[in-house]
Amino acid sequence: MKYSKTTPYFFILPMATGLLVFRLGPIIVAALASFTKWNIRTAPQFIGIGNYTEAINSEIFWLVVKNTIEYMVIFVPGVMLLALLLALLVNQKLRGIAFFRGIYFLPYITAMVAVAMVWNWIFATRFGILNFALTHYFHISNPPAWLADQRWALPALTIVAIWKESGFQMMVFLAGLQGIPTSLYEAAAIDGADKKQQFFKITFPLLSPVTFFVFINTLVIAFKTFDITYTMTGGGPNYASTTLVFYIYQNAFIYDRMGYATANAVLLLLIVGAITMFSFKMKERWVNYAL
């Protein structure tokens, strides 16, 4: 494509303006605040790298980092697999398929208060349907107290998060699947390729840019999980279900420590940034933009 040197800048101008003023501006202030003691209400005081050394030497911080990684490791593949499965299912030409698409999308738009209420009830120790099923059909005598158990609280939240997020990523996959020309499948069918071969020879490679996008997107969402923790466990018991962004919120607004919260946010950025950079480096190996 031929274009003058300045042309690309016109295309990115609105985005770059917004990025600079409304995103980068506040972030730079926040980054500066990470070197201060700041309770929001009154002027910050400079304390050097104190917040960083405190975080690195804090047991709670590392527990929270560990929780975040554990959460991500289940959440990202969970959402991607479920979303892809849903997208493939609803990409068929079947009667009433639009109805199913709508239903799978519902969790994403249902208000979190309602979601939390229902899932709290599902996970309830005594009267929850999950433990009812476990004791009556699987004869497990002492099922866990899911959300009150330090081992199970985080996995339980992860399940809720996968349930809530998958419909959204399904839509992205679906948009990607729709972009694959049907002529390719017809040609493959003439060549005698079965459905499985068609998936691995056509769908998967052609969907790889979208898959990559969903991956990065899900990764960022995994690190930013907040609402579900906030409404269901509050991060407990004893920080067992606290993840980084929730911890940052707690420090910023509950514990009166905006300075410390911003230092944590910078550390978070380093972690997610490293993983994302690595993902981009690995991208060439499996992402195809054209067949």
Partner 1 sequence: MKHHNLLLLTLVLVSLIASGCGGKQTATVAPPASTEKPATEETITLRYFMWDPEFSEKEQQMVDKFMAANPNIKVELEAVATPDYWTKLQAMSAAGNLPCVFSMSSGYVDQWISDGLLADIQSYVDRDIKPDDYFTGVFDVVRDKKSGHMHAFPFAFVETVLFYNQDAFDQAGVPYPTDGWTWDDFLSAAKKLTVDKDGDGTPEQYGFWFYGRYAHIESWVYQNDGRLLNKDKTRFDPDDNAVAALKFLNSLINEYGVAPKPKEMEGIRQQDVFPMGMSAMWVDGAWNINNVREVAGDKFHWAIAPIPRGPQATGDTAYGWPDSLAISANCAHPDEAWEFIKFITGPARTIDLTFGGKVPIYKPVALSDEFLERDKQPPNKDFLLSWADHTGPTSFTPGWGEWRGYADGAGLEGKLNSVFNGEEDLNTALSEAKEHANSVLERYYP
Partner 2 sequence: MTMSVTTPKSSGRINPRHIRIVLSYLALTFLAIFSIFPFLWMLNTTFQSQGAVFSLPPKLGDMIFKPGMFDAYKEVLTKYNFMRYTLNSLFVAGMAAIGQLITASLAGFAFAKMEFKGKNLLFGILLSTSMIPVSVTIIPEFLLMSKLNWLDTYLPLIVPSFLVGTFGTFMMREFFSTIPNELVEAAMLDGATTFRIYRTIFLPLSVPAMTTLFLIAFIHNWNDLLRPVLYISSSSLRTVTVGLTSFQGEYGARWNLLLAGATISILPLLIIYIFAQRYIVEGIATTGLK
- Site residues for partner 1, window 129-188 (CB under 8 A)? 145-150
Among 240, 248, 208, 191, which Cα is nearest to 224's? 248
Which DSSP string do the residues of 162-212 spell out, in sequence order? HHHHHHHHHHHHHHHHHTS-HHHHHHHHHTT--HHHHIIIIIHHHHHHHHH
Phi, psi of 99 (to 5 degrees): -60, -45
Nearer residue to partner 1 within complex by CB, 153 or 202: 153
Using CB distances below 5 to 8 A depending on partner kind, what does residue 108 bind out of partner 2, partner 1, none? partner 2
Which residues within the stretch 27-56 sit at the binding site for partner 2 (CB under 8 A)?
A: 27, 29-30, 33, 40
* Angle between helix 129-136 and helix 112-123 axes, rounded to 10 deg: 30
Which residues within the stretch 212-231 sit at the binding site for partner 2 (CB under 8 A)?
A: 212-213, 216-217, 220, 223-224, 226
Exposed, middle or buried, 225 (CB in 10 Å: 0-12/13-18/19+)? buried
> What CA–CA distance (Å, rounded) separates 75 from 218?
8
CA 108 to chain centre: 13
Number of residues that bind partner 1 (CB under 8 A): 39
Among residues 92, 93, 127, 289, the one that binds partner 1 under rule CB under 8 A: 127
Using rule CB under 8 A, residue 23 touches partner 2: yes
Using CB distances below 5 to 8 A depending on partner kind, what does residue 198 bind out of partner 2, partner 1, none? none
Using CB distances below 5 to 8 A depending on partner kind, what does residue 123 bind out of partner 1, partner 2, none? partner 1
Using CB distances below 5 to 8 A depending on partner kind, what does residue 92 bind out of partner 1, partner 2, none? partner 2
Site string for partner 2, 105-144 (x = CB under 8 A): xxxxxxx-xxx-xxx-x--x-xx-----------------
Exposed, middle or buried, 263 (CB in 10 Å: 0-12/13-18/19+)? buried
Among residues 218, 229, 241, 262, the one that binds partner 2 under rule CB under 8 A: 262
Paired tokens of 218 = 């899900």
Using rule CB under 8 A, residue 123 touches partner 1: yes
CB 249 within 8 A of CB 227: no
CB 228: neighbour CB atoms within 10 A? 24
> What CA–CA distance (Å, rounded) separates 281 from 275?
10
Which residues within the stretch 255-284 sit at the binding site for partner 1 (CB under 8 A)?
A: 255-256
Using rule CB under 8 A, residue 72 touches partner 2: no
- Per CB under 8 A, the segment of 1-9, 69-77, 88-96, 108-116 that binds partner 1 is 1-9
Binding site residues, partner 1, CB under 8 A: 3-4, 6-7, 10-11, 13-14, 39-42, 120-121, 123-128, 145-150, 233-239, 242, 250, 253-256
